[in-house]
Each structure stands twice: as structure tokens, then as C-alpha cells.
Structure 1
Amino acid sequence: MGLLARHGSRVAITLLPLVFALLHAVGALPMQFLHRLDAILYDARLRATMPQTLDPRVVIVDIDEKSLAEVGRWPWSRNRLAELVDELFERQQVTLLGFDVVFAEPDDSSGLKRLRQMAEDELRDAAGFQERFAKLQSSLDYDALFARSLANRPIVLGYYFTADREGRKSGVLPAPVMTREALQGRPIAFTRFNGYGSNIDALAKAAPVAGHFNPLTDRDGVVRSIPLVAEHEGAYYEALSLAMFRMLVGRPAVEPGFPRERLVGRDYTGLESVVLRRGQRKLEVPVDDRVATLVPFRGPGGPAGGSFRYVSASDVLLKHLAPGELKDKIVLVGTTAPGLLDLRVTPVGETYPGVETHANVITGLMDHRLLVKPDYAVGYEVVVLLVAGLLLALLLPVFSAPTAVLASFGVVAGLLASNYYLFAVHGLVLPLASALAMAGTAFALNMSYGYFVESRSKRQIADLFGTYVPPELVDEMVKDPRSYSMKATSKELTVMFCDMRGFTRMSEKMEPTQLQELLNQVFSRLTDIIRANRGTIDKYMGDCVMAFWGAPVDTPNHADLAVKSALEMTQAVVQINEAHRTSGIPEIGVGIGINTGTMCVGDMGSDVRRSYTVIGDAVNLASRLEGLSKVYGTAIVVSETARRQAGGFAWQELDRVRVKGKEQAVGIFTPLGPAATLPRELAEELETWEIFLQAYRAQDWNRCDLQVRELQRFAAKKYLYDLYRERVASMRQLPFDPSWDGATTFETK
């Protein structure tokens, strides 16, 4: 509450970016630049953590420019593709084959269709032709040849979904891996498509397992993820990479992995995972709110990327590979040829082969190393924003600019480190942009507010109090300028009057300019002592300086500091006099009066001239005490109230006095120095002095004479003892007065 009272505006300014960041996080006020920044940060983390090593388990058979030049333009005839499949399984002995291409139309390149028409029409009566056609028909049916090579082999075909107005459909879809009933009526936000382009019926029957190869393209045109399971007309179909992995591990069933209902309700629109179950064994594949998985890129793509081995398809067809060179490998057939339009923009390359995205997902599934943006990402983002935002709101307003910079960097470093740790160690992709933007904006607004608003208040405080208050106190005040003002208020303070002795004598012997220089020198020395002890200079009055402690900055030990200043000032005068004796300048002395009490402090005066000062009876008493220093022959006279609050000093009581304008007598004292260093002889002297004062106030003059002689043995030339010796001699002539309270009355100021 104190922080809000002192820095409410600055706290509010700091919290403003937090409010907008929270609105963005919960989707009430989405900001595209933050989504874009999150994508950039994700890409940077991904590139920083890629293994960039070769995975020898997966090989890409590449329909590249070389293959197109040696075999012919795409699409190749299906009999060549049959040869490719046979080579891979029979001679190379691969484990699994997947196609990142689709065979959506029949292959008529053999001329079989035209020959069939001729056999049915103009040449139906040509016996020789019919006989020859019957022998050639099976060898010219390239689709059938290709289907036979696909049949009964671990092969996964590829196809694609579309989402357009017409919703065109071609080819045959594979069996879905999940039905709507499995979702238990939950509104899961699958990626939905209304059309598809799949393989022709003959091939789909020969190789019934197929997976879609659709990527998900983000708003910035970059492919970062694939829908692991997608929806079409109420049925759910797996991606090519998932289909190949399932075939590799024995075709486990695919089930939805629901988040726990105690954490989210049944109306939650995402899945926590896709569960692969085979008997009692299961594997949970984490997915995001679109039932998609982020592609765990291993490194830069393409043949030179170093993540996977690329083999030119023509080298396979032409048997340039040694037998068994690809034994036990998982093979993907795809293309890097630019003309075949299967190059993607990804976080790790702008011309990344689409087939390699599936290779990355397959290896990620095998290694259980998939990145995921979890379903609790929004909750995490809100918590991080609240912690970081409130921390900045509490710290920045009270810190100096350098410390605020360090605190802000610390918060940002903590955000980066924790986010990177969760990413690199646990594979969690969690939002970061909103927190960084919030922290940066909060810092900028806070510093701007401090510079343009609070610095003006601080300059005003410095201008108002700089000539009265020590710089270190001004530094404290400018930290919270609203807590200080010139408005008059009553509070307990300690006030000091210090008068220079011998000034009149010097003025008679010195030139005005010399006198001015000397006076400035002495006052500067005394002022430095006052300011070093947190005192506030009230005013200079001729050869007198007035100061007080406890305002404008609260100082609990104001009486202590005032007495300490007085002792240091008397020591400074001794040093000044030593220099004066050397220079032949008359010596000076000081008389100091100190009192503690309630007084009015503030900006006072007329419309023409005003000053920050103190007034009141307590101030007047201090002035009277300064005058009494001459009477008692001591440099410092302190009231009893000030003495009680100034602990740690050794004191000698001077008298009880009743000054002009005051009916009540007050005790007056002089400090002798720190009590801890008081010499034993001086302690004995003070004990004797206390006995003398008791006898004096009891009007026991004979005893007083004895104690005075004892005191003069301690300090023969001490003016105070001579004063009281004369008082005793004078009062001995008077009769005993039972009403006398032992106080001395002064009728003059």
C-alpha cells in the first residue's frame, strides 16, 4: 500500500503493457505482430537446438533433376515405378517404403487404351491383331504392373487433402484411423478438409495403407507443422509420417488422448495426444490444439543438408547402387526438382524438400523427440505475464535507473532461460513474445515516465531544497518527490543556533573584503559539518548560522546528529584558530544553543521573499540557550529535552534556568564528548560536580565551598566553577529561601 501511495502512477504505467499482453494471451485482443514475433523466436530456438547430424535409418529416394534427365520427364510410366519398387525391396532389401507423390490418374503411356479401342472397333475381326493384343495386354497394363509390385509389401502411399469452394474429390481414400464416435461427442478442432486427390482404385487396393502429406502453412507462409490426424466428412485420416511409423511398429490402433477433465472441461476443443495402442502397450504422441505436430527439423534440408541420405531415383532404377546398400532402411520417395513444386519455406530453409519434413517426423516419432505446443500454453503464458509484470511493477518504480535496467535485464533473462530450458529439455513450445514485449514496453514506459514526469518533480524538489538541505538528503527526497513539500507542518525537530564570537573585534581590524572572505571561510567549514550530519541550513544572520534536523527528511536521531555537529564544529574552530595564530588573525569562538521540541516547519515569508524555516517556542528557547553560552563560559548549551534524546554522550549539567518569556525552568547541559571515550579523571570531576549541584540547590553553602575547591583542583581555570564560586559567595549573604527551586532567572534575551 505504501508503494502504491508513493508510486501509484508509475505502477499503473508499468502495468498497462501487462493488461494488453494478457488480453492478447487469452485471445480477447490478438496482436498479429506478437504472433509473428513468437514464430521468429520459435524458429530461432529450433535452429539453436537442431542436432544437425545424419540419421542413417531413413533414406530419401529423390526424383531430382538428374533423374528427370536420365529417365525422362515426370510422371514416369508405372512400369518404371514398378521396377523402382522391385529394386528397392528385392535387391536393396529396404524395410519400409513411403511415397510422397500421388498417383491420381491411370497411366495410358503404354498405348493400351488405344489398342483396346482398336481391338473393339476397327480391328475386331483381325485375328492376328487380336491374338497379338491378347499376348501384349498384360505387359502393357502399367497400372496393373505397378499394383502387383506394391501388393503385399510394407508400402504407404501418399495423397493430399484440399479445402476449396468446389471440394473436388478424386481417387480412393484409405480407411480412416478414427471415427467420430471415438471422440465421445467432444468438439475437437481438427484441421478440416472438404476435398482430396488420392490414388486410383487399382493402386489403393494393392497398397491399402496411405497417409496424407499436407503441411500446415502459418500466416507468414512458413511450414512448421503437419496435421497428424485430419478430418474429412466426419472421418479422421493420418499423415504419411504417422502411417509409416505405425506400419513400422506393427499397425497399432489410433485413439484420441483426451486431457484430464479436472483440468479442462468436456467442451475443450483440443486433444492432449494421439494414442497408439497395441494390446497393453501404448505410445502417446503429443499434439497441439489443431491435432498437429511441429516438425522436429534435424538440420538444413536437401541433399547437402546432412540430415538424411539422398539417393537419386535414377541411380536406383539403373542399378548404380550395390546390392543391399539400402538394407533395412526406411525409404521415402519424393522430389527436390523445382519444377515438381514440392519445395517449402521452413524455419531452416526457404527451399526445403517437402519429403524431408515427413522424414523428420518419422525420426521424431521413433526417438520420441517431438516438439509440441501443449494445451496449457495459454495458462502458462498468463502465469508468466502476471509474475513478470507484477515483479516489474513493484521493482521499477522504486529502483534507480541503472538498477531498473539491471532488474529489467534480469527479468528478460529469466524469461528467456526458463523458456529455452522447457524447449530444449522437454520439447515444450511455449509463448515468449508477449512476455518479452510486455517487459520491454513496461521498462520503456517506466523510464519515460521517470524522465519526463518524475524527473521534473525531482528537479523541482532539488531546486526548492538544494540550498538548504545536504545533497545526500536531496538524493533521498527525489526518490519520492511527492512525499515532500514546502507546506507548513508541526513536528518534533532539533534546532541549533551558532553565533561567532570575536566577530566585532575582527571587523575593527580587517578590511571589509578580508572580513567577508574570512566569514565565508568559517561559515563554509561549519556548514559542511552540518550538512555532513544531515542538517538543514535555515539561514545565516550576520555572524550567526541557524540549522535544524528532522526535516524535510524524517531523521529519528535528529538530536544525536545535532549534538555531534556541535562537537565537530567546536573542534573545527580550534583548527581554524591554529591557522589564525600562524597568520596573525584574531582568534574566534562560537556559542551554540540546541533544543529539541515541537515546532512549525515549512515555507514561510511574504509574497516578495520566502524561505524554508522553523518557528515556535522551541526555536526561541534554542536562541536563548545560544546566548547563555557566554554566561556559563562554554561553547555548547543543550536543553534537557535534547539531552534526553541524544544518547551516547557524556554530559555536564550547567544549571536550571528560566529564560525571558518562559515561566517554566529548564535544565541546560553541555556535551563533553562520546561517553565511551570519557577519561576516568573527567568522570570523577563530573561526580564531584553532581555533589556540588545537590548542595547548591539545597542551599548548603559550606558544602558548596568544599566541593568548589575540589572542582578547582580538577580544573583550576574553568569559568563555570568560578561562576558558581561567586554565586555561592553572593547567596551566602541571603537568608534561607524554602521556595527557591534552584533555577536562575534571566530577564534579558
Structure 2
Amino acid sequence: MSRRTQVRFGISAVVFALFLLHTSRILPSRLLDVVEAFTYDARVLVTLPHHADPRIVIVDLDEKSLAAEGQWPWTRDKLATLVDNLFDRYHARVLGFDIAFAEADDKASRLWRTLADGELADLPGVAERRSAIDAEVDYDARFAQALHGRAVVLGYFFKPGIGAGEPEMTGALCAPLIDAQGAKLYDLDLLQPKGVGGNVATLQNAVAHCGFFDNPSVDFDGVYRRVPLMQQYQGAIYPSLALSVARLALGDPPLSLDFDPPDVRSSLHLEDVRVGQHVVPVDAEVAAYVPYRGDNRTFNYVSATDVIRGSVADPAVLQDAVVLMGATAAGYLDLRSTPVNKVFAGVEVHANLIDGILHGGIRQKAPYYDGIEAVMLLVVAVLLALAFVRLSAGWSAIAGFAIVAALIALALALWSGADFIMPLGVPVVFTLALFMAHLLYGYFIESRRARSISKSFGEYVPPEVVAEMAERGGEVSMEGESREMTVLFSDVRGFTSISEKLDARELAALMNAFLSQQTGVIQKYRGTIDKYMGDAIMAFWGAPLADPDHGFNAVRAGLDMIHRLRDLDADFAARGWPALQVGVGINTGKMSVGNMGSEFRRAYTVMGDAVNLGSRVEGLTKEYGVAIICTQATRDTMPSDWAFRELDLVRVKGKDEPVAIYEPIGPKDEIDPDLRQDLARHRGAMKLYRDQDWDAAERELRSLARGPRPHRVYELFLERIAILRREPPGFPWDGAFTFTHK
């Protein structure tokens, strides 16, 4: 074996050994876990069917229901009515509660007993009707009566730990899926919680079925990819809410665990859970991967109040339906992070899993998953070593990317064709890492500076600036440093009310149009986009390339952003969208700039007091009735032939020193002479105001306010003068106004 071959196989062996430490979990890498999770989530998103079984329906504790029925929890006579209507009026097949009824609903009965034994005891007829009224106000008994004999599953939750003084068990549980004696026949790595939060015994005793809705199998990043179908408590095995509901929907068939070989009943050999004829693949913890059908509200929703009041618009939706009751109302929303959406209704996680149990599509992660991954890494290591021994650099690169493509194609084929989860993220990263190791060793040197700069800054700055950066070479760095720069904040006025009037798709289209246009303006003036914050934009000037005109360019960009915004009006009006208004705040000062963040995500950004002040200044635009405000520091960077309207001297929240703020108007020779005269008169009025010459200041401001060019700032200072007459500030006084809010 030649030395070249030895080196190539040696490189593959070293990289393989490093990755094997992760695969064997001897030295797991969080980064590789993140990548593997990402590739799993990507497969979920790429193959989403975007439709679900219409017979799975969610009865929603929504805002409409809270408005109609009152705040949660409702008295259980209402829930009894809901159950009666679901089964008697709408003929639902099964009802599962993604809610635990941990406490008795006895407020009404206790109040009645107190009155009956006290103030009402001597009233005629009370004694005779007491038993009847006792029954009427016993809401738990009423609810239990509604539950009795019906296909209902009550939800409860297991506790992974017990705090000091906390009881191990509250409420009651239904009979286990497998009792403690039967569970001894299996050697399973089931999750074993320390406690349980069950339902009131009166309610639980009324139904035969229950299921836990907690998920201790949530992944390391908090994402709900899999859900345990069983947990073991005090030796007995209990089912999840989804498993119990699905089983009841199928007519309560027998349930069994399938092993391969059948006589070895351990987690390593567990293949699936069988519900009648329906096979549910599970992992070693008896957890199933949730087969997401789509984003939020893929399933049919019915408002809970409509069920209670018997006013469901389409009763056929509930006919023979598998119903889950959960909450989406603000404050009660059971939110989960999932591969589909980081804000996902928890009740829909159960709905997706029930759909998978009933109709298939649940994917299997084999118990020998880590072994599959190790073999894949070994095969890739050998193939790449042979490629770099026998092929040129170009063909070796093609071989490397062909391996990656083959891994992705094989993973997608097994995912879609066999419902099998194959390792993908780690093998792909391994292939790329090994390819780079071979590449750096044999053929390539450091990448061109221009490519590095373009990759680092292309998303922040205009292409022409990237080109200029590439030409300057070593001057450009993403390392943190302190610079004199200018920052701009822009925010849409009244965005909350605008967003409430548009659906999600329209809102996204509106924001894309708005942000694209405004970003173009910023980049036109050589600005760097820091970030988008919903409807807000943050940008800065003076980095990554130094800009001696950073303040001037920022102000021109701010004014042009406001002016160009009107170009969108006609198109927005044609779509039925409102015209947008923005507030722009600009400040100049020392800022820390560089690539900042965490090991998982970094961004080229600015930080510091000057940045915070820029944000505060933007918030003041509404106070002064202007679209744009800049600070004294920014005005000092501007040409002397520019006109400004002096607005105030303010102390913003978090700052002790007063800051002068101005409204930029434009070049003096381009504005109306009458407006220039108004600006001069206003400056004089501000001097009179700070000298506490209230009468003279008031006369001048009132004259300006009644003139042909009124302004909010005139009225603002007239209001202040009226207050200061009553409560003189005394001397010395700097004339600054203190804001206590952001």
C-alpha cells in the first residue's frame, strides 16, 4: 500500500473515529444533534400532505367560547351539556379531553349548603326541596352522569419529579393498560414518572378510559417530534391520550406489543404496538414519531360554545367524529414547538398522532438506528478515501457531492416509500467534513478573499459594497470593534390593528412588499441591514466599510423611505390593504459592531447605548407627530445647508443626560421660504420657552399653530406651558422633558 493511500485512509479513519464518538454517545455533539434534527424536520416539511381525516375534529376552547360562556374553568354542568350534545345531538363517535379535571367543582353546592343550613333554613319549602336542589348544584355528579356509558377518554398528566411537600398522586386513574404483574413479562425501557395528576374520582369512575397528555419524550431542542404511547407508573403500564382515543375509535380492540424475534420481549427488539389490525411503529421507549399532516388548523375546528348551545353551523362535521377538546384561546393556548411550526396547538399534536394510528403513515426509527449510522459512516469513509486516491481533485469533488446526493435520495426514498427514518444529518455532515479534510490536505488552499467576504456580508449590504470590500481585502473584518456610526430604526404605525384585519397570507405579502421596498432604499444609501423585527427595520451606516458620511446617508435614507412608501399606496389600495405610515429614529455615536451571537446562530450587528438611544428616538415620533426624528449627534454630521425643525430637549428612559432631537426637513435651498421662516420663529419660541418667558413663547407658538402650516409640536408646547404656569420649574432649568416610557 502506497504512502498516499495510507494517508488517505488515515484521514478517513481519524474523522470516522471522531464521528463515531458521537454516534456511540460516548462524546455526543450538540451540533450534530441539531443538524440531524434539522434534516428530520426538513423531511417532515417537504412531505407534508396538508390534509387530514375530516372525521377528527377539535372542539375548541377559543376566544368566542370564553366570551360567550365566561372565563375558564367553566362549571361542569356546561361541560355535561357539551358532552350530551356531542353524543345525543351530533352523534360523535369518541370524545377525548386534552384537559385534566384535577379539582372538584363544588363551589355552588357548598354555597347552597351554607344557605340551606343558615339564612334559608326556616323558609317554607326549603327542607322539602333540599335533596332536589342538592342534586341540581352537584355539577360533578351532573358531569359524571353525562360521561357515564359514553366513549369518553379523560386526560391526565404524569409528573417526572415530585417537589418537597408535593403529593405523589392527586385525583384518580383509570385501570392500567397492563397491570404491574403483566408488565413484569416485558423488559422495556419505558418512561417511569414519579407522580401523577389525575382526575376527580367522581369523574374518572364514570368512564373506563383515560390517557396521559404530557410528553417527557420531547427532544433536546424542545421540539415535539415523538410522543410516548405508554408510561410505567408504580409497575403498571398506562396509555397516552392519543392511543386511548384511537383505540376507542376502533371499537376498543385488543392491544399487543410486537417483538422480533417474538420471544425476546425487550426494548431492543420492540418493533411496534398493534391496536387490533393497526400497526404503530415505536422506538425503544415505546414512543411514536408524530405523522404531522399540516400546519395549525389542518383539522376541523368547532367552537365549544357552539356545541354547548347546539348551534354548530355544519352538524355533519361532528357526525361519527373522533373529537378532541382542547384550548387555543389566548392565555389558555397549549403551545408546542414542532417540526411544522414553532408555535403549534398542543391538541393538534394528539390529533395528528390519532390520524396516524387510524390511517398509517407513522414512521419508524429502528432500535438499531445507531448501528445503521455507524455502518453508513464507515462506507462513506472508505468511498471517499478511494476517490481521493484514484481520482483527480475535480472528480473527487464530484464524488463527494454525489455521495451527499445519494444519501439524501436514499433517506427520502425510505421516508416516503417505507415510512423508515434513516440517519441523514450526521452522514451528510460527515461526508462534507471528510471531503474538506481530504481537500485541504491534497489540493486546495484557502478560499479566495472575495468569496469569503461575499459569504459573510452578502445578506447585510448591497452587492456593490461587497465588491468594494473584496477590493479592499484586509481592511474588512467581522471581528467586534468600536466605531463612530449611525443607526436607524423604522417601525410601522398601528401595525397591530393592521395585522388583525388581514389573514396570514395577505399579511405576509404586505410585509414582503413593504420590507423589500424599504430595504432597497436603505441599500441605495449604502446602509447595512441589521435585522427585521416583525414590522420594524434596524439598519446602520459606517460598517463593515467605514463611511465618513454615515449620518448624512442615514438621514437621506430615512427621508427617502418615508417618501417612497407612498409608491406602494396604489397597489395596496387595489388589494384592499391600508396605506402604511412609518416612524423613523436616527442616532449617531460610538457603537460596538461585529459578528455576535451564540454557537448556534450569529449575526453581524451593532450594540451599545447609542443604538438603544436610536430605538428610543424612533418611539418618540408618535409623541411629536412627525415621521422622522434624529438626535443632535446626527445633526452635527450633516451639511450646514440642511434645515431641521427643533423638536425638544428630552431625557429618554434609561438616560440621565438630556438629548436634543430634531425633525430633518431637507436642503435649505429646496424648501419653501415661508417654511424656513416658520422654522426660525419656532427656534425663537423654543429659546423663550427655555428662558421661562411663558407669555412670549405662548404668543409665538399660538401664532404658528393658527398659521397656514400647523404642527403637532406647537400644540404640545402650548400644553406644557399651561402646566408649567401652574407648577413653575424654578431656576436653574435646562428645559428638558423626561419620558418615563420607551
What range describes the TM-score normalised by the shorter chain of this pair?
A: 0.5 to 0.7
Q: Do the aligned partners of residues 312 and 123 (structure 1) sit closer, same or farther apart at CA in structure 2, a change above 3 Å counting?
A: closer
CA contact (8 A) 1:160 1:214 kept: yes
Cα distance, 1:117 vs structure 2: 3.9
Choose the corresponding residue for 2:349, options 323, 333, 357: 357
Q: For 1:207 and 1:426, locate their aligned partners in 2 and report how far apart those are by CA, in whole Å.
A: 38
Q: Which residue of structure 1 aligns with residue 462 of structure 2?
A: none
CA contact (8 A) 1:82 1:146 kept: yes
**AA paired with 2:307?**
V
Secondary structure of 2:232 counterpart: strand
Cα distance, 1:106 vs structure 2: 0.9
Q: For 2:407 and 2:315, locate their aligned partners in 1 and report how far apart those are by CA, in whole Å.
A: 53
Cα distance, 1:184 vs structure 2: 5.1
Note the alpha carbon deviations across 1:334-374, whole angstroms, 9 max, x for none.
11123114111111112211111111111111112212211
Q: For 2:366 and 2:301, locate their aligned partners in 1 and report how far apart those are by CA, in whole Å.
A: 33
CA contact (8 A) 1:10 1:449 kept: no
Q: Which residue of structure 1 aligns with residue 133 of structure 2?
A: 136
Choose the corresponding residue for 1:392, options 379, 384, 390: 384
State whether structure 2 residue 300 is matched by structure 1 residue 309: yes
Q: Which residue of structure 2 aligns with residue 412 of structure 1?
A: 404
Q: Do the aligned partners of residues 338 and 17 (structure 1) sit closer, same or farther apart at CA in structure 2, a change above 3 Å counting?
A: farther
CA contact (8 A) 2:259 2:265 kept: no
Secondary structure of 2:157 counterpart: strand
CA contact (8 A) 1:157 1:211 kept: yes
Q: Which residue of structure 2 aligns with residue 154 of structure 1?
A: 151
Matched ranges for 1:687-698 at <5 A: none
Q: Which residue of structure 2 aligns with residue 475 of structure 1?
A: none
Cα distance, 1:403 vs structure 2: 0.6
CA contact (8 A) 2:174 2:205 kept: no
Secondary structure of 1:27 counterpart: coil
Q: Which residue of structure 2 aligns with residue 271 of structure 1?
A: 270
Secondary structure of 2:311 counterpart: coil
Cα distance, 1:315 vs structure 2: 1.7
**AA paired with 1:222?**
V
State whether structure 2 residue 286 is matched by structure 1 residue 295: no
Q: Which residue of structure 1 aligns with residue 170 of structure 2?
A: 170
Q: Which residue of structure 1 aligns with residue 623 of structure 2?
A: none
Q: For 1:316 and 1:29, locate their aligned partners in 2 and report how far apart those are by CA, in whole Å.
A: 54
TM-score by length of 2: 0.57
**AA paired with 2:138?**
D
CA contact (8 A) 1:396 1:407 kept: no
Secondary structure of 1:333 counterpart: strand
Secondary structure of 2:319 counterpart: coil
Q: Do the aligned partners of residues 128 and 50 (structure 1) sit closer, same or farther apart at CA in structure 2, a change above 3 Å counting?
A: same
**AA paired with 1:162?**
K
Q: For 1:13 and 1:82, locate their aligned partners in 2 and report how far apart those are by CA, in whole Å.
A: 69
Note the alpha carbon deviations across 1:622-655, whole angstroms, 9 max, x for none.
xxxxxxxxxxxxxxxxxxxxxxxxxxxxxxxxxx
CA contact (8 A) 1:189 1:289 kept: yes
Q: For 1:407 and 1:227, locate their aligned partners in 2 and report how far apart those are by CA, in whole Å.
A: 41
**AA paired with 1:300?**
D
What is the RMSD of the two structures over their aligned residues, measured on CA atoms?
2.3
Q: For 2:356 and 2:279, locate their aligned partners in 1 and report how far apart those are by CA, in whole Å.
A: 13
CA contact (8 A) 1:87 1:316 kept: yes
Q: For 1:259 and 1:363, locate their aligned partners in 2 and report how far apart those are by CA, in whole Å.
A: 26
Q: For 2:430 and 2:317, locate their aligned partners in 1 and report how far apart those are by CA, in whole Å.
A: 55
Secondary structure of 1:379 counterpart: helix
State whether structure 2 residue 430 is matched by structure 1 residue 432: no
**AA paired with 1:314?**
T
**AA paired with 1:147?**
A
**AA paired with 1:156?**
V
Query: Displaced runs of 4+ in structure 1, greater than 6 A?
Result: none
Q: For 2:399 and 2:66, locate their aligned partners in 1 and report how far apart those are by CA, in whole Å.
A: 60
**AA paired with 1:168?**
E
Q: For 1:132 and 1:183, locate their aligned partners in 2 and report how far apart those are by CA, in whole Å.
A: 51
Secondary structure of 1:191 counterpart: coil
CA contact (8 A) 2:189 2:267 kept: no
Q: Which residue of structure 2 aligns with residue 207 of structure 1?
A: 207
Q: Which residue of structure 1 aligns with residue 41 of structure 2?
A: 43
Q: Do the aligned partners of residues 7 and 164 (structure 1) sit closer, same or farther apart at CA in structure 2, a change above 3 Å counting?
A: same
Note the alpha carbon deviations across 1:470-495, whole angstroms, 9 max, x for none.
xxxxxxxxxxxxxxxxxxxxxxxxxx
Q: Do the aligned partners of residues 378 and 132 (structure 1) sit closer, same or farther apart at CA in structure 2, a change above 3 Å counting?
A: same
**AA paired with 2:224?**
V
CA contact (8 A) 2:393 2:443 kept: no
Q: For 1:270 and 1:184, locate their aligned partners in 2 and report how far apart those are by CA, in whole Å.
A: 16
Matched ranges for 1:301-380 at <5 A: 301-302=296-297, 307-321=298-312, 323-380=315-372
Matched ranges for 1:201-280 at <5 A: 201-215=201-215, 216-260=217-261, 269=268, 271-277=270-276
Q: Do the aligned partners of residues 452 and 224 (structure 1) sit closer, same or farther apart at CA in structure 2, a change above 3 Å counting?
A: closer
Q: For 2:316 and 2:407, locate their aligned partners in 1 and report how far apart those are by CA, in whole Å.
A: 51
CA contact (8 A) 1:270 1:290 kept: no
Q: For 1:364 and 1:35, locate their aligned partners in 2 and report how far apart those are by CA, in whole Å.
A: 26
Cα distance, 1:276 vs structure 2: 3.0
Q: Do the aligned partners of residues 452 and 97 (structure 1) sit closer, same or farther apart at CA in structure 2, a change above 3 Å counting?
A: closer
CA contact (8 A) 1:37 1:433 kept: yes
Matched ranges for 1:527-566 at <5 A: none
Secondary structure of 2:270 counterpart: coil
5+ long unaligned stretches in structure 1: 454-749
Secondary structure of 1:206 counterpart: coil
Larger radius of gyration: 1
Q: Which residue of structure 1 aligns with residue 75 of structure 2?
A: 77
Secondary structure of 1:285 counterpart: strand
CA contact (8 A) 1:14 1:443 kept: no
Q: For 1:194 and 1:22, locate their aligned partners in 2 and report how far apart those are by CA, in whole Å.
A: 34
Q: Do the aligned partners of residues 29 and 238 (structure 1) sit closer, same or farther apart at CA in structure 2, a change above 3 Å counting?
A: same
**AA paired with 1:20?**
L
Q: Do the aligned partners of residues 441 and 330 (structure 1) sit closer, same or farther apart at CA in structure 2, a change above 3 Å counting?
A: same
Structure 1 stretch 12-21 or stretch 435-444: which is displaced more?
Answer: 12-21
CA contact (8 A) 2:149 2:207 kept: yes
Q: For 1:232 and 1:188, locate their aligned partners in 2 and report how far apart those are by CA, in whole Å.
A: 13
Q: Do the aligned partners of residues 261 and 22 (structure 1) sit closer, same or farther apart at CA in structure 2, a change above 3 Å counting?
A: farther
Q: For 1:32 and 1:232, locate their aligned partners in 2 and report how far apart those are by CA, in whole Å.
A: 31
Q: Which residue of structure 2 aligns with residue 649 of structure 1?
A: none
Cα distance, 1:223 vs structure 2: 1.2
Q: Which residue of structure 2 aligns with residue 145 of structure 1?
A: 142
Matched ranges for 1:54-73 at <5 A: 54-73=52-71
Q: For 2:266 and 2:147, locate their aligned partners in 1 and report how far apart those are by CA, in whole Å.
A: 43
CA contact (8 A) 2:55 2:317 kept: no
Cα distance, 1:388 vs structure 2: 1.3
Secondary structure of 2:399 counterpart: helix
Cα distance, 1:250 vs structure 2: 2.3
Q: Do the aligned partners of residues 283 and 326 (structure 1) sit closer, same or farther apart at CA in structure 2, a change above 3 Å counting?
A: closer
Pairs aligned (count) = 441
Choose the corresponding residue for 2:435, options 440, 443, 452: 443
**AA paired with 1:196?**
V
Q: Which residue of structure 1 aligns with residue 544 of structure 2?
A: none
Q: Do the aligned partners of residues 204 and 48 (structure 1) sit closer, same or farther apart at CA in structure 2, a change above 3 Å counting?
A: same
Note the alpha carbon deviations across 1:457-480, whole angstroms, 9 max, x for none.
xxxxxxxxxxxxxxxxxxxxxxxx
Cα distance, 1:253 vs structure 2: 2.7
Q: For 1:428 and 1:289, locate their aligned partners in 2 and report how far apart those are by CA, in whole Å.
A: 15
CA contact (8 A) 2:183 2:235 kept: no
Matched ranges for 1:526-675 at <5 A: none
Q: For 2:26 and 2:143, locate their aligned partners in 1 and report how far apart those are by CA, in whole Å.
A: 54
CA contact (8 A) 1:286 1:372 kept: yes
Q: For 1:113 and 1:424, locate their aligned partners in 2 and report how far apart those are by CA, in whole Å.
A: 58
Secondary structure of 1:365 counterpart: helix
Cα distance, 1:85 vs structure 2: 0.9
Cα distance, 1:426 vs structure 2: 1.2
Q: For 1:328 and 1:267, locate their aligned partners in 2 and report how far apart those are by CA, in whole Å.
A: 38
Cα distance, 1:35 vs structure 2: 1.2
Q: For 2:86 and 2:28, locate their aligned partners in 1 and report how far apart those are by CA, in whole Å.
A: 50
Q: Do the aligned partners of residues 143 and 378 (structure 1) sit closer, same or farther apart at CA in structure 2, a change above 3 Å counting?
A: same
Secondary structure of 2:60 counterpart: strand
Cα distance, 1:270 vs structure 2: 6.2
Note the alpha carbon deviations across 1:313-346, whole angstroms, 9 max, x for none.
1122222225555211111111112311411111
